[in-house]
Structure 1
């Protein structure tokens, strides 16, 4: 059951982020020279890789989001330290541009869940109740649109998820979610020479001409041809999604 949910936005205000900066040791005012966005960089807890080596990380606080990056990834990115005046100008401009409300989609898996419990996402096992504006009530497990793809695949079912190009772009490039597309493709955020790119995975050599005709471009990296979608707009992404919508196919999963 998929419903639309409207939330009032509560951006991190300039006075509050400056207070956090003043009270946090090592906090740094930054801006992204590519996107012209501001962020407060603070230290984040390190984590251990598979070999037990600690990976240092930083957290970027932004008006409406928080992002955690490995310190090595952050040092290769477009983020740079800036002065107070520039930071305040950029931050305030972004806060003022935040709409009062945001509408998003919520999907509940309802009904008899125990027989398929092990095929549902394991990161959030809470049971939710909701009531729509017209009084309809539902109870079930909450899953995101991208998680729904995996659920359908684990159940051996075909599905197609309705997501706008902007929603897909945000899910992949901002939330770092890998999305499946019908036809056996995947979209993922890749880091190439320290820069984030939108990569299309699963394209055969025969498919390259049609993908290039849609606006994709290729690069040979370590003797392998990889396909990327420009991120300076969503026009090319929209054309790719029109040809290969977000979805999962049981046949693709079996292959």
Structure 2
């Protein structure tokens, strides 16, 4: 019912879809466009699922197993997935900044502003502003808190891909791990590396690509959890 209230299912705005391979359904709605490194505008759609959502480029979506289905079939399959999901609760860790926030509101990261209210089983209610894992160390430094460290090297890749925020990585060089859109796909790029050490980086699992006459260094997204710790060792 909530999905029906939010979207006009079956219109060009909200297209019911089903994955021909998995049988799972999703509602395709417009997503924010992104700009590639070469300046090209890339159109995207957001696939809403009962428990998660993800953005797809139109090109990737057209080459996938997702296909349009009727509203009736979509609604029925969506309800089945919801019922199955309810049988297996999902555990998620959420960091909240609570208390008197107004005086320090502007000192919190401004690119993720979401206020969340949590209710415990005993009825106790907590309301606060969400803090992303990637921002914990910076916030601790801002407010002079001790005992809070940044993400471990094996977590950096996933956090950068998910948030789009660059993170530093202590290695032989002062590296920065950032998300870059190259050829329509999101990559993990390393900047700050010494060109003289390219062979060393490649031996650790990185790869290079010459783009616009410039050598750029990347970490395979699927292996970031093992490659980045190797660079930091």
Taking structure 2 as the reference length, the TM-score comes to 0.59
Alignment equivalent of 2:138, drawn from 115, 136, 150: 150
Report the counterpart of residue 65 of structure 1 in structure 2: 52
The 3-state SS of whatever aligns with 1:241 is: helix
Equivalences for residues 194-213 of structure 1 within 5 A: 194-213=184-203
Residues 168 and 177 in structure 2, CA contact (< 8 A), matched pair in contact too: yes
Count of aligned pairs:
212
Gaps of 5+ in 2: 35-40
Residues 77 and 195 in structure 1, CA contact (< 8 A), matched pair in contact too: no
Residues 206 and 227 in structure 2, CA contact (< 8 A), matched pair in contact too: no
Residues 32 and 78 in structure 1, CA contact (< 8 A), matched pair in contact too: no
Which structure is higher in strand share?
1
Report the counterpart of residue 178 of structure 1 in structure 2: 166
The 3-state SS of whatever aligns with 2:109 is: coil
2:9 matched to 1:23? yes
2:113 matched to 1:124? yes
The 3-state SS of whatever aligns with 2:159 is: helix
Report the counterpart of residue 67 of structure 2 in structure 1: 82
The 3-state SS of whatever aligns with 1:209 is: helix
Report the counterpart of residue 27 of structure 2 in structure 1: 40
Residues 128 and 142 in structure 1, CA contact (< 8 A), matched pair in contact too: no
Residues 136 and 149 in structure 2, CA contact (< 8 A), matched pair in contact too: no
CA gap of 1:106–1:174, structure 2 versus 1, over 3 A, is: closer
CA gap of 1:31–1:243, structure 2 versus 1, over 3 A, is: farther
How many Å separate the matches in 2 of 1:128 and 1:18?
Answer: 24
**Greater relative contact order (Cα < 8 A, sep 6+):** 1
Taking structure 1 as the reference length, the TM-score comes to 0.55
Residues 24 and 42 in structure 1, CA contact (< 8 A), matched pair in contact too: no
User: Which deviations, in whole Å up to 9, do the C-alpha atoms of 1:212-245 show, x marking residues without a partner?
Assistant: 12111111111221111223x33x5323135439
How many Å separate the matches in 1 of 2:159 and 2:86?
Answer: 18
2:225 matched to 1:241? no
* Deviation for aligned residue 1:141: 5.6
The RMSD of aligned alpha carbons is 5.2
Residues 188 and 200 in structure 1, CA contact (< 8 A), matched pair in contact too: yes
Residues 189 and 217 in structure 2, CA contact (< 8 A), matched pair in contact too: yes
